[in-house]
Amino acid sequence: MVENDLRVLFSLEANGEQPQAQISIPAAGRRARTRQRRRRLVAIASPVLAAAAVIGVVTSGVLVGAGHGAGPVPPGSGGPTSPGPSGSPASPPLATASDLNPLTVYATFGWLPTGQHIGNIGTGRAWMFVNAEPVGFSLYVYAPGECLVKPVPKKTGRSELSCTGGIAGTGEPAPIVRKAPDIKGHRAYWLGAPGPYLAWQYAPGGWAALSYPTKARPGDGAGLPSSSQSAKPEQSPLAVKVADHAVIGSANARPIRFPARLSGVPASWQVSSTDVRPQGDLMAADLYQITAGPVVLPPDGGGLPQNTPQISIAPAVPRTADQKCTFSGGHPAHEVIAGYRVQTVSLRGQHLQELCAADADGLFVYIYLTGDHPALSARGIFTHLHLLGPDPANWTTKPIG
Amino acid sequence: VTAVQETEFADYVAARIPALRRLALVLCRDWHSADDLVQATLTKLCQHWGRAAAARSTDAYVRGMLVREFLRERRSLWARRVDVTGQPPEIQAEPADLEGLMDLQAAVSALPARQRAVLVLRFYCDLSIDQSAAALGCTAGTIKSQTAKALATLRRNLGHEPLTSLSEQAPRISPFTGKVTDHG
């Protein structure tokens, strides 16, 4: 029987001698982080949003971009918020497309199940996220106008919620599978693959999505979360509770503190996304990305766009794996810049520059940039960095200027 | 991905790479592509480690992720334009069986990617129809029909006679038309 022959064939193939693996676990981690940041940068690369690169302000608990003002709901953004079933609060004013401020944390979990706490936070202009640790919930908040409900595509037969960078940074839209209980009086939906997610309109044109832990349905045996487009996502009462307590908007907005100030660079340089590690109430940046000219996305979909130097700075913890100076390739050159010992790598074929200082005034510094003709080299950026030491109390909320 | 999650991810992956490579090999049919597939899957896995770790079976979650990544790559414009399939994996077998297995190997390599993926899930991973459907994110009916089509193609190319007795999960081939019909 062919079936039996197939079992034999696959088994023989799989159990043959394995050659040396060409797989790197650190590279997977690095690319995952880069991909997530890249998706937060996609909005900047868009000509429309690049023209509107005005940092947003938060008013009345609703994210509204400065300079954009009120106006009609963007086409397809879902229309005005429908009132909740039981006398929900009045809808806030309508907002047009606007940007978030990547120097500010706008959202947080108001409640998490026992054993979970806020882990890391990422901000950008189009969206931001808050992850819970050790594993479980992730909250994604999109600026008004960054998501829209698409009509039913032929492929899935279901309407989709499509957001800049994809739902939860996956790069993909997610089908709306069914209505969920209203969240704070705003309409909400359960979303399928690449979910499951619980999504709700926290403000007109502004969507939030919650990724939540799932258990496989009894009997499926494969242990997969119900993430297929055909499957109905598990409707988690816990997810509804977490979403209901999420705090989004100005009420809880907290400025991010940066461990260095970059000065002497063109006024057009701006922080475009930040990775934050909360230390109690203090929002401490540990990695941030800067737009330093026209952003050009790499054609292969990998790596960072050009003109977006990435700076990673954290209090130095010598001899830890996380803070080891590792590079994408080549042999690092050891040198002293501005009195600090640094290692640098320049891969011309890949138009890539890296600089690492394991301990500069008590800070671990890593700079990564790509591009044919960057406005400043990695060395140049390092010399323009004024390091503020390892104590977050001395850090700044103005990382550039 | 938090630092804690990344450590958990690295520990998990370090132990699973050989198994993931084997699965990737039977899907891709050569080691270079298999390693590329595993690397791409690990990147995605790291991005979504929280969800993978929270799944009842992380192994099953990752397996589904790898197979879907394989199909996604094969659907890409690059894959459709450029055939980068290398040498099929070597198999060690008795000389009497070797020729038949090599014919089967060639026939499996010629199958469309989705059919090959279904066969791998069913006959390498030993998943049921429902489990295969969950892994690929499709219906059980699709798994049945894809399995049936794939087996029929293999039988035709290998010159096998159609089966006369069918198990519950096996495809049904009409004795009158020779066409494959879904069972159940």
> Of A89 and A139, which is predicted with more confidence?
A139
Q: Give ∠ CA A349-A271-A69 in degrees, rounded to 5.
A: 130
C-alpha distance from B92 to closest chain A C-alpha (Å): 7
Mean of pLDDT values over A131-156: 81
- Rounded Cα distance between A249 and A186, Å, is 15
Instruction: Tell me if chain B has a CB within 8 Å of the CB of A27.
Output: yes
The residues, ordered by sequence, that sit 6+ positions from B126 with a Cβ below 8 Å of its Cβ are: none
State the amino acid at position A194 in one-letter form: P
Of B2, B5, B4, B78, which is closest to residue B36 (Cα–Cα)? B78
Contact status, residue B88 vs residue B105, Cβ threshold 8 Å? yes
Mean of pLDDT values over A245-253: 86
State the amino acid at position A340 in one-letter form: Y
C-alpha distance from A212 to closest chain B C-alpha (Å): 7
Distances (CA, A) of A302 to A122, A367, B40: 20, 18, 11
Between chain A and chain B, how many beta carbons pairs sit less than 8 Å apart? 203
Choose, out of B9, B23, B56, the residue to mutate when testing the contact with A (most A CBs < 10 Å): B56
Instruction: Tell me if chain A has a CB within 8 Å of the CB of B85.
Output: no
Contact call for A3 and B120, based on CB within 8 A: no
Per mean pLDDT, which range of A169-178, A280-289, B58-67 is the poorest?
A169-178
C-alpha distance from A378 to closest chain B C-alpha (Å): 25
The confidence score (pLDDT) of residue A401 equals 86
> Of A280 and B27, which is predicted with more confidence?
B27
Contact status, residue A64 vs residue A58, Cβ threshold 8 Å? yes
The confidence score (pLDDT) of residue B169 equals 33
Distances (CA, A) of B133 to A291, A378, B118: 43, 49, 9
A131 contacts in chain B (CB < 8 Å)? 1-2, 5, 50
Contact status, residue A161 vs residue A173, Cβ threshold 8 Å? yes
Mean pLDDT over each residue of chain B, to the nearest integer: 77
> Of A40 and B53, which is predicted with more confidence?
B53
The reported pTM is 0.61
**DSSP states of A132-154:** EESSS-EEEEE-TTSEEEEP--T
A220 contacts in chain B (CB < 8 Å)? 130-131, 134
Of A120, A24, A328, A323, which is closest to residue B10 (Cα–Cα)? A24
Work out the percent of chain A whose per-residue pLDDT is above 90: 30
Residue with tokens 């690295």: B10
pLDDT in tens, B57-113: 888 889 999 999 998 877 765 544 455 555 677 777 777 678 888 889 889 988 988
Contact status, residue A8 vs residue B22, Cβ threshold 8 Å? no
- Rounded Cα distance between A129 and A105, Å, is 9
Q: Is the peptide bond before A89 cis (omega within 30 degrees of 0)?
A: no
Distances (CA, A) of B43 to A105, A116, A208, B73: 26, 25, 25, 14
Contact status, residue A337 vs residue A377, Cβ threshold 8 Å? no
- Rounded Cα distance between B6 and B108, Å, is 37
**pLDDT exceeds 90 at position A217:** no
A230 contacts in chain B (CB < 8 Å)? 133, 137-139
Instruction: Tell me if chain B has a CB within 8 Å of the CB of A346.
Output: no
State the amino acid at position A356 in one-letter form: C
Contact status, residue A380 vs residue A266, Cβ threshold 8 Å? no
The confidence score (pLDDT) of residue B123 equals 92
Nearest CA in chain A to B49: A135
- Biggest alpha carbon–alpha carbon distance for chain A: 74
Burial class of residue A394, CB neighbours in 10 A (0-12, 13-18, 19+) = exposed
Taking residue B94's Cβ as centre, other Cβ atoms within 10 Å add up to 7
- Rounded Cα distance between B131 and B127, Å, is 6
**Could you give the dihedral angle defined by the CA atoms of residues A244, A248, A250 and A252, in that order, rounded to the nearest 10 degrees?**
70
The confidence score (pLDDT) of residue A333 equals 92
- Rounded Cα distance between A13 and A24, Å, is 23
Mean pLDDT over each residue of chain A, to the nearest integer: 76
Mean of pLDDT values over A211-236: 51
Contact call for A18 and B22, based on CB within 8 A: yes
Nearest CA in chain B to A26: B10
pLDDT in tens, A64-102: 333 222 222 222 333 333 333 333 333 333 334 467 899
The confidence score (pLDDT) of residue A243 equals 96
Nearest CA in chain A to B131: A222
The confidence score (pLDDT) of residue A320 equals 64
State the amino acid at position A214 in one-letter form: T
**DSSP states of B7-43:** HHHHHHHHHHHHHHHHHHHHHHSSHHHHHHHHHHHHH
- Provide the 8-state DSSP code for A245: H
Q: Which of B2, B17, B57 sits opposite A119 (nearest CB)?
A: B2
Predicted confidence band at A192 (pLDDT cuts at 50, 70, 90)?
confident
Per mean pLDDT, which range of A117-121, A303-307, B150-154 is the poorest?
A303-307
Q: Which of B2, B4, B56 sits opposite A216 (nearest CB)?
A: B56
C-alpha distance from B179 to closest chain A C-alpha (Å): 17
A9 contacts in chain B (CB < 8 Å)? 91, 101, 104-105, 108
- Rounded Cα distance between A381 and A364, Å, is 15
* Tokens matching residue A250: 């100005």
Contact call for A6 and B108, based on CB within 8 A: yes
Would you call A63 helix, strand, or coil by DSSP? Answer: strand
- DSSP strands (E only) in A151-253: 160-163, 174-183, 186-191, 197-203, 206-211, 247-248
Contact status, residue A350 vs residue A370, Cβ threshold 8 Å? yes
Q: Which of A6, A24, A26 sits opposite B123 (nearest CB)?
A: A6
Predicted confidence band at B159 (pLDDT cuts at 50, 70, 90)?
confident
Q: Are strands A127-133 and A282-291 parallel, antiparallel or unpaired?
A: unpaired
Distances (CA, A) of B18 to A16, B13, B22, B25, B87: 12, 9, 6, 10, 19
Predicted confidence band at A103 (pLDDT cuts at 50, 70, 90)?
very high
Of A275, A268, A276, which is closest to residue A289 (Cα–Cα)? A275
Contact call for B49 and A135, based on CB within 8 A: yes
Instruction: Tell me if chain A has a CB within 8 Å of the CB of B76.
Output: no
B59 contacts in chain A (CB < 8 Å)? 223
B161 contacts in chain A (CB < 8 Å)? none
**pLDDT exceeds 70 at position B183:** no
> Of A166 and A49, which is predicted with more confidence?
A166
User: Residues 182..241 of A with a Cβ closer than 8 Å to B: which?
Assistant: 193, 211, 213-216, 219-231
The confidence score (pLDDT) of residue A86 equals 32
Contact call for B46 and A15, based on CB within 8 A: no
**pLDDT exceeds 90 at position B120:** yes
